[in-house]
Each structure stands twice: as structure tokens, then as C-alpha cells.
Amino acid sequence: MEFNPEKFTGISKQLRSEESRESGRQELADLMAVLVGEDREYFGDSELREKIENAVASFPAKERRNIISELQNITKEAGWKTAHDIVAGALDLDKEIERTVGQREQIEIYRHTVRRPENIQHFKDFMNPERIVYGTESETARRVLHLVHEKLACPKIETTVPSSELIKYASNAFLATKISFINEIANVCESVGADIDIVSYGMGLDSRIGHKFLKAGLGYGGSCFPKDVRALQSISGENGYQFQLLKVVIDVNNHQRWKFFHKIKNILGDLNNKEITIWGLAFKANTDDIRESIAIDLALKLIEEGAKVRVYDPKAMENACKVLGQENVVYFFNALDACHGADALIIGTEWPEFQEIDIVQLRNVMKSQIIFDGRNLLDKNKLLNLDFKYYSIGR
């Protein structure tokens, strides 16, 4: 069958019901992608196998020999269990999958299993990648993937499955390392009286270093960096190598948020019944994702200490409510409203709108003009000139 790169069918993370599956079979696709859901915790080989089996079994038999499983971020922290290994096990002809998949089509599926581990977050990124990595031993899969991506103008790396997965893990682990490094430098800046903004700017002018991921703050969070750093550490350990640097990267990242919390507590004293506002709950700006959000961790710790927490985030309020609950938290839909009568303000996410806030109005609505800026977002000099007590990181 001639491959048509314009026809592409993706199977969503949550498998459709049997009725919708039937209705979705009107037009056969040349390429199908089995997308396995990205859970916060690794869900284990057996459950993953069941997900793959169910997904594959939902395809008509004549479509199965054209399937390429494109599995993203499923290895988690399970050691060197590559996507290829898990899929190969799930589709082994000699296993019980034979009666689910039927006949011998699964051999074709196994042979054409690939790993393209780039985690695409936005359509813009998808259409404008910096590189595409193919990890496969199959010439057919390599040819098909080349046709699918041939119009994307970027380098394309064809390699083995282990190498492709390590490209993904190593890339994110390296960026996480830069973040932990600059946060350590920020802590040194506080000790010696230097300004981390100036230090990181000077470092970034060196073309070998660059400015990206040299912004001091509370540390990294989200669905990728924490998971991929731990996964690479686990993969190394399971294969007899102790990746000491990654252990330090993780420790520094965990320490950074609690160092900041202790700064808050040391300055405010007893937090019981203190009215504390948090601006920003997402793990970063321009998303509603709160997975491993440091701002959420701080909010939970403040609640534990008896503080009355008020929160505002442009996008992440609904998700945050599921974690923080409503008993000890008040949710606001305006940043200034959240600060009325506040004893202190904490900036947990670097939303640009926080930089546009009228700081004179902010001063007037707060009970105590104390700001803890966990993202070094605000203009320190302007705030000090208006008699704010302003505490940031490394400056």
C-alpha cells in the first residue's frame, strides 16, 4: 500500500468508548499512533502492557500491520525499561496477546515499533521542532517517519531506541542541571552580597553558556524535568552506574523551595492566622499545569503552618483547587483583590501580568507591604522606593 503522509490518525490518551471507536473507522489510515497517557507516577509494566494491548486490539486486523507505536514519556522511573522493550513484550507472538491481537499481524507491529521521544507541548512546537529523533531498527518505520516529517525543516536524527531515549532524558536533565546550578550561584550571591541578575547576565554573554535556563528562582517543576531527571538517574543505577551529578541536581532543587519557605517564616514569625497571598500556582507561566508546582508545595506548607492562604493564577485555579481544596484557601480572580488586607505576598509563578500591576495600588491594599518574590520578577528598586520590604533570590 502506498503511504500517504497527509493521512494520520492519532489515538487519544484516554481510549475512546467502543461506540466511538466503531464510528471512527470510516476511513482507514496509513499510520496510527498509540499515545499512552502520562501519569504522575509510573504505572508499571503490567498496566502499561494492558493499555497497549487494548489500544492495538481496537484497530481492525487489516490496519494493524501499518501501526507505528509512538510512545512518549512512559519509562518513568522503572529503570532501563525502554518503550521498545515494553511494547515488544506486550506484542510478543508467544504471549497471551496473540488471542487479543489475532493471527500474525503483531509481528509487523513489533518490527515497526519506534520511539520518537520528543515531548511536544504546543502545536507551534510540533510544527517548528529544533530536531526530530527517530529510534528504530525498522527500515519501514524509518521510511514512513521520514515521509511524515519531510516537510519540517529541521535536523533529523536516525538512531537506535536506547540512543533516542537518552537524547530526550539527557537534554532535560542538562537543562535541569543549569537551573540547579544558577540557584546555587544565587545562594552564594546572597552570602557575599552579589546580584544574581548581573552575575547570570554576565555568564550568559559567553556563547558557550547562553542565557537560557539561567534564571534564578524556586527551582524546576512540571511534568518533564523532575520525571526525566529521576528516570535518567534510575536508568543509570539499574545499569550499574551511579549518576552522582543528578543526585545533587535533585537535592538542590528540593532544597531551594524550602530555603525560600524558611526565609518567609524567619521574617514573618509565627504563620498561624497570617493572611498570605500567593500569585501564581502553575509550575510555570502560560499553562494551567500544576504538576510538581513549587507554588502548590508552598501553599500546602503554609496551610499546614496555620496561615490563611489566598491565591490567584490566570489559568491554574481550577486545577489548584483540586489539590488545595476550599477549606483553608480563598480563590480570587484578580491579583489585586487577592492582596486586600494581606500580611505578605508570595510570587510563585513568573506570569508577565504580575509585572504590570500598579505597585502603588498594591501598597495601598496590603495590610503589610512585604513581598517574597520567588521568581525575581519584580523591580526591586521601585518597590524599595515605595517602602516595600522586598525579598527575592540572590539579590
SS percent in the chain: helix, strand, coil, step 5:
45, 10, 45
- Determine which helix (DSSP H) or strand (DSSP E) holds 304, and give its type and residue range: helix 294-304
The owner of cell 502520562 is 38
Which of 154, 189, 224, 339 is the catalytic position? 224
Q: How confident is the model at residue 242 (pLDDT cuts 50, 70, 90)?
A: very high
CB 147 within 8 A of CB 3: yes
The owner of cell 546550578 is 181
pLDDT of residue 264 exceeding 60, the answer is: yes
Answer with the residue of higher pLDDT: 43 or 300. Answer: 300
Mean pLDDT of the chain: 79
Q: Three-state SS for 160?
A: coil
pLDDT of residue 79 exceeding 50, the answer is: no
Answer with the residue of higher pLDDT: 149 or 97. Answer: 149
pLDDT the model gives residue 36:
53
CB 280 within 8 A of CB 295: yes
pLDDT the model gives residue 84:
52
* 72 vs 91: CA distance, rounded Å: 18
- Most distant pair of Cα atoms in the chain: their distance: 76
Q: How confident is the model at residue 108 (pLDDT cuts 50, 70, 90)?
A: very low
Q: How confident is the model at residue 223 (pLDDT cuts 50, 70, 90)?
A: confident
Report phi then psi at 254, rounded to 5. Answer: -70, -40
Q: How confident is the model at residue 48 (pLDDT cuts 50, 70, 90)?
A: low
For the segment 199-221, the average pLDDT, to the nearest whole number, is 97
**Strand bridging mode 275-279 / 308-312:** parallel
Tell me the per-residue pLDDT of 344-356, one tens digit each, with 9 for 90 and over: 999 999 999 999 9
What sign for the dihedral angle of Cα 356, 308, 348, 370? positive
* 200 vs 220: CA distance, rounded Å: 17
Q: How confident is the model at residue 144 (pLDDT cuts 50, 70, 90)?
A: confident
Query: Quick one: which of 182, 216, 375 has its CA closest to 280?
Result: 375
- For residue 38, count other CB atoms closer than 10 A to its CB: 15
* 200 vs 130: CA distance, rounded Å: 25
pLDDT of residue 43 exceeding 70, the answer is: no
pLDDT of residue 236 exceeding 50, the answer is: yes
Tell me the per-residue pLDDT of 285-340, one tens digit each, with 9 for 90 and over: 999 999 999 999 999 999 999 999 999 999 999 999 999 998 889 999 999 999 99
What are residue 276's DSSP bridge partners? 309, 344
**Which domains are seen in the chain, by residue range?**
9-159 (3.40.50.720)
pLDDT the model gives residue 46:
54
Indicate the angle between helix axes 196-204 and 161-192, nearest 10 degrees: 140
The owner of cell 521498545 is 84
pLDDT the model gives residue 35:
59
The DSSP secondary structure of 231-247, one letter per residue, reads HHHHHHHHTT---HHHH
The DSSP secondary structure of 164-217, one letter per residue, reads HHHHHHHHHHHHHHHHHHHHHHHHHHHHHT--HHHHHHHHHTSTTT-STT---S
How far, CA to CA in Å, does 71 sit from each of 33, 76, 161, 252?
8, 12, 12, 30
Answer with the residue of higher pLDDT: 176 or 6. Answer: 176
pLDDT the model gives residue 247:
96
Report phi then psi at 66, rounded to 5. Answer: -105, 5
* 173 vs 310: CA distance, rounded Å: 34
Tell me the per-residue pLDDT of 18-33, one tens digit each, with 9 for 90 and over: 344 444 444 545 566 6
* Sheet bearing 344-347, strands edge to edge: 329-331, 308-312, 275-279, 344-347, 370-373, 389-391
- For residue 253, count other CB atoms closer than 10 A to its CB: 23
**Strand bridging mode 370-373 / 344-347:** parallel
Q: What is the CA radius of gyration of the chain?
A: 25
CB 38 within 8 A of CB 73: yes
How far, CA to CA in Å, does 144 sit from each of 3, 30, 147, 290, 341?
7, 9, 5, 36, 61
pLDDT the model gives residue 86:
52
For the segment 156-163, the average pLDDT, to the nearest whole number, is 87
Burial class (CB in 10 A: 0-12, 13-18, 19+), 19: exposed
For the segment 181-206, the average pLDDT, to the nearest whole number, is 98
- Whether 224 sits among the annotated catalytic residues: the reply is yes
For the segment 181-201, the average pLDDT, to the nearest whole number, is 98
For the segment 95-122, the average pLDDT, to the nearest whole number, is 41
Q: How confident is the model at residue 55 (pLDDT cuts 50, 70, 90)?
A: low
Q: How confident is the model at residue 52 (pLDDT cuts 50, 70, 90)?
A: low
For the segment 251-266, the average pLDDT, to the nearest whole number, is 97
For the segment 167-181, the average pLDDT, to the nearest whole number, is 96
